[in-house]
């Protein structure tokens, strides 16, 4: 699985995703945008070396010779968590500037699963058009929106619930607490 972390707020999603994938025994390949290093340091408070160590392989944004830059390198897909509008727009244009956008472009051209945890609000028409373009290319846009019916007790549960739903898209089960079971389930009483 390729994991991308852009510079958008919400770096904790990418870091926690790496932890969950490691626990699930999934091989991970990490690429972070240049701005991600700033966001990770500010929001997560972990050194980049610790974040990179969560992945099986980690690549620099300028490393266009990395295996994930080629369609012949097989992956189950890619999750960009969080995904900035800038990164999404680069994917939408097909420009593929830097390894993060190139790896996403490869995933799309190979018809593999690409999930973008888009972090931006409010959205203007240009953002919406870029979202439409990547959706038409086959990407899934999954903004990290909390599910309050799951009755999360803390931020960690909200993050894990969102990531559990994303991993469901790849048939990776992390034993997600708080799955909807109807109005008469113990969850909603």
What are the beta bridge partners of residue 185? none
d(CA 122, CA 165): 23
pLDDT at position 122? 94
Q: What is the CATH number of domain 2-188?
A: 3.40.50.1950
CA–CA gap between residue 101 and residue 16 (Å, rounded) = 21
**Average pLDDT of span 114-134:** 96
Q: Tell me, what's the pLDDT at 182?
A: 81
Q: What's the pTM value of the predicted model, to 2 decimals?
A: 0.94
Look up residue 101 and give its two tokens. 């956008």
H helices present in 119-154, as ranges: 125-137
Taken in order 40, 46, 49, 52, the sign of the CA dihedral is negative
- On the question of pLDDT at 120 being above 70, the answer is yes
Backbone phi, then psi, for 161, in 5-degree steps? -65, -45
Q: Dig out the tokens for 172 from the structure.
A: 């990776």
- Per residue in 155-182, pLDDT (tens digit) is 999 999 999 999 999 999 988 767 777 8
Write the pLDDT tens digit of every residue in 8-55: 999 999 999 999 999 999 999 999 999 999 999 999 999 999 999 999
Which pair of structure tokens corresponds to residue 174? 């992390």
Least confident window among 13-17, 64-68, 92-96, 115-119 = 92-96
| Residue scoring higher pLDDT (58 or 180) | 58
Residue 177: predicted pLDDT: 67
| Residue whose structure tokens are 């510079």 | 7
From the CB of residue 83, how many other CB atoms can be counted at a distance below 10 Å? Answer: 33
Which of 168-175's residues contact partners 24+ apart within 8 Å by CB, and which partners? 169/113, 169/115, 169/140, 169/142, 170/1, 170/76, 170/77, 170/113, 172/21, 172/24, 172/26, 173/24, 174/20, 174/23, 174/24
């Amino acid at each position: 699985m390729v994991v991308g972390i852009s510079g958008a707020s919400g770096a904790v999603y990418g870091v926690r995703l790496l932890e969950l994938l490691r626990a699930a025994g999934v091989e991970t390949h990490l690429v972070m945008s240049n701005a991600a290093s700033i966001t990770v340091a500010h929001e997560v408070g972990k050194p980049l070396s610790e974040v990179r160590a969560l992945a099986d392989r980690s690549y620099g944004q300028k490393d266009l010779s990395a295996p994930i830059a080629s369609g012949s390198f097989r992956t189950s897909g890619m999750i960009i968590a969080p995904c900035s509008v800038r990164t999404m727009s680069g994917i939408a244009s097909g420009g593929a500037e830097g390894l993060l956008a190139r790896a996403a472009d490869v995933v799309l051209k190979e018809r593999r699963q690409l999930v973008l945890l888009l972090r931006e609000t409010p959205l203007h028409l240009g953002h919406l058009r870029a979202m439409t373009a990547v959706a038409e290319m086959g990407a899934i846009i999954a903004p990290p929106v909390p599910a309050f019916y799951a009755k999360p007790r803390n931020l960690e549960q909200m993050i894990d619930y969102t990531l559990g739903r994303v991993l469901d898209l790849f048939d990776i089960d992390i034993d997600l607490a708080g799955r909807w079971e109807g109005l008469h389930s113990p969850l909603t009483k």
